[in-house]
Structure 1
Amino acid sequence: MKVPEWAYGVPPISVIGESYCTPYPLELIVKKKINKLSSSQFQVFDLSGNFLLKVDGGVWNFKLKRVLLDPAGFPILTLRGKALAFRHKWKAHAGESTHDTSNILFSVKQSHPLQIKKQINIFLANNFKKKEPDFHITGAYTSLSFKVYEGRRLIAEGKEKYKVKVYPEVDYAFIVALLVILDENDTP
């Protein structure tokens, strides 16, 4: 049985905050630019050109740290990755802190490093010890096709470079954070 992409009455998916959920599908334009040899940036806009989010971070360093900022420049999420791990692993912390374990919102890890078709699993903070992920991503950002699922329910997808469709009542800041992690995992 195929699960519909979106159905009326489905509970919202709010990981970072309810203010990032919209009652309608949201198309995002994500622009990545490398400012210098040491820093990169993602900028996120809606189709009307409204600036929604920005992600700052370093390039080619062992400290994989990315900070998701709101339009005013305030940090809403910090992503920390392990650069030399056999499986790529990330933890997402609320705000700018990365050392307080009480503010971890979710963790991300590649399902298996030797799989041909890569899958990335996302575990919410209350689910770290379980084997079944809360969300998973199939595909790759650099191959222009990826899908984000909650179980079997499709919640976001990208079919063109730098264009992402987020389904209604899904936290688009959470999807952008996953997109940055997906990009980092695809980048050698």
Structure 2
Amino acid sequence: MKVPEWAYGVPPISVIGESYCTPYPLELIVKKKINKLSSSQFQVFDLSGNFLLKVDGGVWNFKLKRVLLDPAGFPILTLRGKINIFLANNFKKKEPDFHITGAYTSLSFKVYEGRRLIAEVKHNFTLESFCKGKEKYKVKVYPEVDYAFIVALLVILDENDTP
């Protein structure tokens, strides 16, 4: 018998906030648009086209700073380049809270908390979309998982793997 990838009663994974956790699987479309050589933007929509999040920031700016905004335009998270990052409850452990398999260069990756699969990302890359400065991701976030956190991981991975 195959064990489901998620089950009810599992504690929520809330890194940015519980308001970004849903009790059901959530499928997202993340659109990346490069406005200029120094500026790019990510916009996050659900499958119905509802605008959920936006990430602004420079592509090659000196501080490597990006800001995650809610639909009203209020900042909820600032992303900056750092060498080592640990979550507050895990600074003494040697094992990571989360790990990613795959890579941006392989066009998809999965996010795990321990052995639990919590999200899947597929990059819909085409040479035409890349040349136009418009790329798209499909993201599946499992129930009770902070989708804003998953989007932040996607942006970090995209920034690290963009030449």
> Which TM-score band applies after superposition, normalised by the shorter structure?
0.7 to 0.9
CA drift at 1:160: 11
Give structure 2 stretches of 5+ with no counterpart. Answer: 120-131
Asked if structure 1 preserves the Cα contact closer than 8 Å seen for 2:28 and 2:44, the reply is yes
Give structure 1 stretches of 5+ with no counterpart. Answer: 83-120
Aligned residue for 2:71, secondary structure, equals coil
CA drift at 1:12: 0.6
Asked if structure 2 preserves the Cα contact closer than 8 Å seen for 1:141 and 1:182, the reply is yes
Q: 1:13 to 1:22 in 2, by over 3 A?
A: same
TM-score (norm 1): 0.73
Tell me which protein shows more helix as a share of its residues.
2
CA drift at 1:59: 1.4
Asked if structure 2 preserves the Cα contact closer than 8 Å seen for 1:54 and 1:68, the reply is yes
Asked if structure 2 preserves the Cα contact closer than 8 Å seen for 1:122 and 1:135, the reply is no
Asked if structure 1 preserves the Cα contact closer than 8 Å seen for 2:33 and 2:133, the reply is no
Q: 1:63 to 1:145 in 2, by over 3 A?
A: same
CA drift at 1:141: 2.8
Whole-Å Cα distance in 1 between the matches of residues 39 and 134 of structure 2? 26
RMSD (Å) for aligned C-alpha atoms: 3.6
Deviating beyond 3 angstroms after TM superposition, the runs of 4 or more aligned structure 1 residues are 1-4, 157-161
Asked if structure 1 preserves the Cα contact closer than 8 Å seen for 2:118 and 2:141, the reply is yes
CA drift at 1:40: 0.6
Q: 1:160 to 1:22 in 2, by over 3 A?
A: farther
Asked if structure 1 preserves the Cα contact closer than 8 Å seen for 2:32 and 2:134, the reply is no
Aligned residue for 1:63, secondary structure, equals coil
Asked if structure 1 preserves the Cα contact closer than 8 Å seen for 2:55 and 2:67, the reply is yes
CA drift at 1:142: 4.2
Greater relative contact order (Cα < 8 A, sep 6+)? 2
Report what 2:110 is aligned to.
Answer: 147
